């Protein structure tokens, strides 16, 4: 009852189909194998470049973190050295050795031969 009516194809439509079939023929594929290999090589290089960039970024972040830790350690040690080199702290540190601060000014020794 329901009959489908087929629309006749125009000659132009048939030609475009044939041209596509000609383009994707076995001979065309064989002729373009070097090009496909070149595209494959480019894809591999592109993927490698992405992975290498990610690895480099991770390495930069790791080194940056290490640098910050070393800067903190440097600042801590520097402040500790500055604290220990104060006169009062130095006096406390050498007290067990029997050394004391001078209460009188030091005596200056002069060479009698250089004064002439």
Taking only the tens place, the pLDDT of each residue in 5-33 is: 666 556 666 677 666 676 678 888 889 99
User: What are the extents of the domains in the chain?
Assistant: 14-95
pLDDT of res. 109: 87
* pLDDT over 90 (residue 113): no
In this structure, of 5-19, 76-90, 96-110, the range with the lowest mean pLDDT score is: 5-19
pTM exceeding 0.85:
no
**SS3 of residue 2 by DSSP:** coil
Q: Which residues contact 28 (CB under 8 A, 6 or more apart)?
A: 22
């Amino acid at each position: 009852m329901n009959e489908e009516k087929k629309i006749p194809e125009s000659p132009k439509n048939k030609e475009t189909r044939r041209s596509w079939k000609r383009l994707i023929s076995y001979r065309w594929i064989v002729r373009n194998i070097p090009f496909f290999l070149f595209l494959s090589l480019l894809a591999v290089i592109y993927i490698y470049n992405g992975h290498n960039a990610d690895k480099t970024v991770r390495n930069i972040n790791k080194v940056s973190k290490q640098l910050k830790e070393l800067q903190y350690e440097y600042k801590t040690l520097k402040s500790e050295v500055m604290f220990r080199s104060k006169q009062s702290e130095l006096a406390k540190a050498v007290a067990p050795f029997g050394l004391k601060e001078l209460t009188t000014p030091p005596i200056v020794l002069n060479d009698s031969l250089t004064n002439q």
